Amino acid sequence: MTNEAIDYLVEPLTGLDVLTKDYVLDVRFIITGLLDSDKLLKGLYDVITQKWPVMGSRIASLPQGRFEMRIPKTFCDSQPPLHFDTYEAAEEVAIADCFNRLPELDALDIKTESDLIAFESFMLTKPQAYKKLKRKIPSSSIGKQCSGLSNGPFVLAKDLIDKDIPLIQTLVHLFPNSNETLVRIILPHCVFDASNIAALFRAWSDSMNGRLDRIPSFLPIFQASKSIQELPEEVLQSCDPKRPPMPKGYRYGDLSQILMMLFMLIWRWIMLPLLRLQVPSMRRAVNIWVPNEILQSWREEARKEALTYGYWHDFFISDNDLCVAWCLERMAKKYDSQLDGNFTLGLAVNVRTRIPQLAQKLGIDLRGPSQSSAMANATSIFAHNGAFLWNSGIFSWKDVSEWPKWSMAIKIREELIRLRQPETADEVSRIMAAMQHCHITPGAPTLLPMNPSTLLCATSNWKQADPIAAIDFSSAVLDTVSKPFHNNWAAKTSPGKASELSMTEKKTENPAPTVAVINVLTDRPGKGVLITVACDGNLIKDHTFGTLVDLSKL
């Protein structure tokens, strides 16, 4: 759709996008090698201006709670496709002087799960960091065009909506001390889920390596599968258009449900700690490094338990199943009274691979054994949040605390097996269509993936998208004198590849209706996984997930 008067194209946000419009993702990764920031900028600039102009759009609000991306038909000095700034450190300044960094993991004596460490403040900016860094004054025309210094990086979604600020904010930090580069990229979650972040990193890498022709095309929403946009006519004819049949496990977010949700938030986050003579704690996040050896021992234990359920001895259980179940089991040991009530388990579902009609339009071949490879070889991208929380059931914390240790991992795997059945694709399509219908129908309430008398435990598997593997900035590596690396892993990482990656989620003001958020991602491919858990800070202080180490104090 084109608006001739104000010279932009329009891509509307979907009902699912709007559910995540209050979130931004702050992704940081460390590249082995000192990089040419002009090449980095040119690579990303070309991706947006030549292949994906939608990634250079601005988000605007509309009446009745609707939003749209406005894509400038021409990018210029007053409307750049992105914001991009570079900072250089002096020779004596290390990354660890400015950003909290994991220690040498190989040197840690982690043999069993009792040895696990919960790292807090991973890769967050240290106070006074930018006093130790010098901003590089852009000299090229596109460098001057894209400098976001006058605005600064937005850190909340409210700083982005209805302002002339592009979607992508990028800060590059050069550290000659160890010949490493830390890249920080801030993205709105309503457009960038894990799959689109990985797609952006692949396209950025291809662009810098002279492979623009390999970058997928962009699939506008109006060309996507109708099954995710519209409820069937026969459904609408038999119901109140403002109240179509709710998908299984969902609730309408009307006033009574919202009030119930607020009560549950107050109960969980304020009242329960006070009843237990604890100081109410804000949500805190930690990262737990789990080496492959421990993952394998967990898998063997879980498979033995699966035999009691009638499964075969080599029953597949993924790293994600194990890590989510382990976190829930640890939490349940603390939340084992009737007062703790129930939680809704939300498993992130990628609509790109769960709806065959959409997968076909995106050129995703679902016939192979690896959906990660299929996603990486897609011929088009879906420039929207394509991950929603599948209601996988309501569970009692007390029950989980009493179950055999790996029962939850088996239940998660059973639910994911069901999700892969062809008939479930219709359920996924119906949920997307119902969200969209409620979004565009005046007076219709929002759909919630939960019973508001419980709180969500939201989980996602970043391992499948694997954004760290998508990064290849080797063509931008400068020829410099060798320097000692921070750790053995960085020393073994090829120049231009990422040695560490972290992701922080930030939400505008209002608290999310969650009891916990659990993400599993690859940080050191082939060595283990990193679990990110955001939950009640009292659990963190009680060393629920391992010995607490605040990286900001190291």
**Whole-prediction pTM value?**
0.94
CB 84 within 8 A of CB 140: no
Check residue 18 and give left, alpha or beta (phi > 0: left; psi -120 to 50: alpha). Answer: alpha
Mean pLDDT for back-to-back runs of 10 residues, the chain (554 residues)? 66 93 93 97 98 96 92 94 96 95 89 95 92 93 87 70 92 96 95 96 97 96 88 82 84 89 93 93 93 96 93 91 98 93 95 91 86 88 93 95 96 92 87 90 87 93 90 96 85 93 84 91 87 96 96 88
Count Cβ neighbours within 10 Å for each residue of 14-35 and write b for 16 or more, e otherwise.
Answer: bbbbbbbbbbbbbbbbbbbbbb
Identify the pLDDT of residue 524: 83
Residues facing residue 181 across a β-bridge = 31, 174
In degrees and rounded to multiples of 5, residue 314 shows phi and psi of -105, 30
pLDDT of residue 1: 43
User: What pLDDT shows up at residue 150?
Assistant: 57
Phi-psi region of 22 (alpha: psi -120 to 50; beta: other; left: phi over 0): alpha
**Domain membership flag for residue 422:** yes
- The Cα 416–Cα 428 span in angstroms is 13
- pLDDT at position 187 is 94
In sequence order, the 6+-apart residues with CB closer than 8 A to the CB of 22 are 157, 158, 507, 508, 509, 510
pLDDT of residue 3: 47
* Beta-bridge mates of residue 32: 180
**Residues near 529 by beta carbon (within 8 Å), at least 6 away in sequence:** 289, 290, 295, 319, 323, 463, 520, 521, 522, 523
d(CA 238, CA 249): 21
In sequence order, the 6+-apart residues with CB closer than 8 A to the CB of 267 are: none
326 lies in some domain: yes
CB contact at 8 A, 220 and 53: no
In a domain, 249, yes or no: no
Question: What's the CA gap between 287 and 326, in Å, rounded?
Answer: 14
pLDDT of residue 154: 64
Alpha helix ranges (H) inside 3-36: 15-19
Relative orientation angle of helices 422-440 and 407-419, to the nearest 10 degrees: 80
Residue count of the chain, please give it: 554
Which of these, 324, 322, 319, 375, lies nearest to 524 by C-alpha position?
319
- Is 329 a domain residue? yes
Q: Which domain holds residue 383?
A: 2-103+117-213+280-553
Distance from chain centroid for Cα 442: 30
Q: DSSP letter at 477?
A: B
The confidence score (pLDDT) of residue 2 equals 46
The tokens describing 129, both together, are 């960091």
For residue 433, is it left (φ>0), alpha (ψ between -120 and 50) or beta? alpha
β-pairing verdict for 217-218 and 380-381: parallel
- Reading the block at residue 372, the tokens are 């990660």
In this prediction, residue 244 carries a pLDDT of 85
Cα 325 to Cα 16: distance, rounded to the nearest angstrom: 26
- Is 529 exposed, middle or buried, given 0-12, 13-18 or 19+ CB atoms closer than 10 A? buried
Structure tokens at 416: 């994911």
CB atoms within 10 A of CB 470: 19
Which residues, listed in sequence order, are joined to residue 115 by a DSSP beta bridge?
none
Within-domain flag for 291: yes
Measure Cα distances from 118 to 430, 459, 466, 526, 547 in Å: 39, 18, 22, 20, 6
- Residue 255 inside a domain? The answer is no
Element (H, E) at 388: strand 387-396
CATH of the domain at 124: 3.30.559.10
**222 is a domain residue:** no
**CA nearest neighbour of 389 among 356, 415, 368:** 415
Pair of tokens at residue 61: 């609000």
Residue 381 domain-assigned? yes
CA distances from 80 to 74, 75, 147 (A): 9, 5, 9
Give kind and range of the element (H or E) at residue 260: helix 255-266
Provide the number of structural domains found in the chain.
1
3-state secondary structure of 119: strand
